[in-house]
């Protein structure tokens, strides 16, 4: 029965049928092959690292495992180790700050050569990117081990290792930021007859300032955590204390250091976030 409201109105046009879905057998084959490759890679990796659910369960819940031996032996933390932990954390923070500072300086010095859109020539661009790639490819830990051989075990070795690796990382990030920037101010200064240094200082850097500040503060977080890791292999700071106390089974001291570490890491991350919001905004 027709409703009084719709009486007299034309009947709606029939909805056209959707075209049949095209089955792309080639695309399905590619996805199936990719799935097989991923599964095979996971199985190979599990076998290669000698993964074992049984060993994991034993390590967590056995009588000498994490929950029944290590954790009970780690509490309460040794209150007297809080102050030494804070002093060691300050050393770790100093390592992060110095490595960030020197890394930024050298990354900015390489920036006019490492960004494709402002580099003076293709060979110089390729050379700068090659240097950054080499520094980025060598992990901080390997660099630290090399500096430990020539300089000895010291926080300064950690600074050098993080600085060199950071030049490779920050240099690439800075260069990509320049390559993605609006080139209108750069072109305007070039047309006005400005030199390369003037263009870099008055157009390139102001155009990517916020991005560079944000990347630098983000890397400060990463450098602090990396400095903790390097400390465990002779790089000084709180990582060195944690490694030493673990080696002599002083688990309560380790707990005190871990509490200090967590507090300092959260503080550094919070300060970095606030600074990024205010300076990079």
Which DSSP helix (H) or strand (E) runs through 145? Answer: helix 140-151
Provide the domain count of the chain.
1
Task: Identify the domain containing residue 201 by its residue range.
Answer: 82-279
Specify the CATH number for the domain of residue 221. 1.10.3720.10
Q: Note whether residue 53 is domain-resident.
A: no
How far, in Å, are 88, 247, 261 from residue 80 at the CA level?
14, 19, 15
| pTM listed for this prediction | 0.80
Decide which of 17 and 152 is more confident. 152
Q: pLDDT band at 17, cuts 50/70/90?
A: low
Q: Note whether residue 170 is domain-resident.
A: yes
Q: Note whether residue 23 is domain-resident.
A: no
Query: Which whole number is the average pLDDT over 147-172?
Result: 91
Query: What pLDDT does residue 15 have?
Result: 66
Query: Which whole number is the average pLDDT over 27-39?
Result: 91
Maximum separation of any 2 CA atoms in the chain, in Å: 96
Query: What pLDDT does residue 165 have?
Result: 93
Query: Which whole number is the average pLDDT over 242-252?
Result: 87
Query: Which whole number is the average pLDDT over 2-30?
Result: 67
Q: Note whether residue 195 is domain-resident.
A: yes
165: how many CB neighbours lie within 10 A of its CB? 24
Q: Note whether residue 5 is domain-resident.
A: no
Q: Note whether residue 56 is domain-resident.
A: no
Average pLDDT, the chain: 85
DSSP secondary structure string for all residues of 135-176: HHHS-HHHHHHHHHHHH-SSHHHHHHHHHHHHHHHHHHHHHH
Q: Note whether residue 49 is domain-resident.
A: no
Give the integer Cα–Cα distance in Å for 129 and 123: 10
Q: Note whether residue 128 is domain-resident.
A: yes
Cβ 150 vs Cβ 115: under 8 Å: no
Q: pLDDT band at 1, cuts 50/70/90?
A: low
Query: For 121, phi and psi rounded to 5 degrees?
Result: -155, 160
Query: What pLDDT does residue 28 have?
Result: 84
């Amino acid at each position: 029965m027709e409703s009084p409201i719709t009486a007299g109105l034309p009947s709606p046009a029939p909805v056209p049928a959707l075209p049949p879905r095209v089955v792309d057998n080639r695309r399905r084959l590619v996805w199936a092959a990719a799935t097989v490759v991923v599964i095979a890679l996971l199985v190979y990796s599990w076998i290669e690292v000698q993964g074992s659910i049984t060993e994991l369960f034993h390590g967590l819940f056995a009588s000498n495992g994490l929950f029944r031996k290590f954790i009970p032996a780690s509490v309460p933390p040794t209150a007297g180790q809080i102050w030494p932990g804070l002093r060691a954390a300050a050393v770790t923070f100093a390592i992060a700050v110095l490595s960030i500072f020197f890394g930024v300086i050298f990354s900015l010095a390489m920036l006019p050569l490492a960004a494709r859109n402002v580099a003076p020539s293709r060979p110089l661009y390729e050379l700068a990117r090659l240097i950054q790639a080499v520094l980025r490819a060598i992990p901080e830990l390997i660099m630290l081990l090399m500096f430990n051989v020539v300089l000895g075990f010291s926080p300064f070795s950690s600074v050098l290792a993080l600085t060199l690796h950071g030049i490779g990382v920050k240099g690439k990030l800075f260069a990509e930021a320049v390559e993605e920037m609006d080139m209108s101010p750069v072109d305007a200064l070039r047309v006005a007859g400005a030199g390369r240094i003037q263009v870099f200082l008055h157009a390139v850097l102001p155009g990517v300032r916020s991005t560079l500040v944000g990347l630098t503060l983000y890397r400060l977080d990463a450098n602090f955590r990396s400095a903790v890791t390097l400390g465990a292999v002779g790089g000084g700071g709180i990582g060195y204390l944690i490694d030493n106390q673990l080696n002599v089974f002083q688990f309560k001291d380790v707990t005190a250091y871990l509490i200090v570490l967590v507090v300092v890491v959260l503080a550094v991350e919070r300060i970095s976030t606030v600074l990024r919001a205010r300076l990079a905004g």
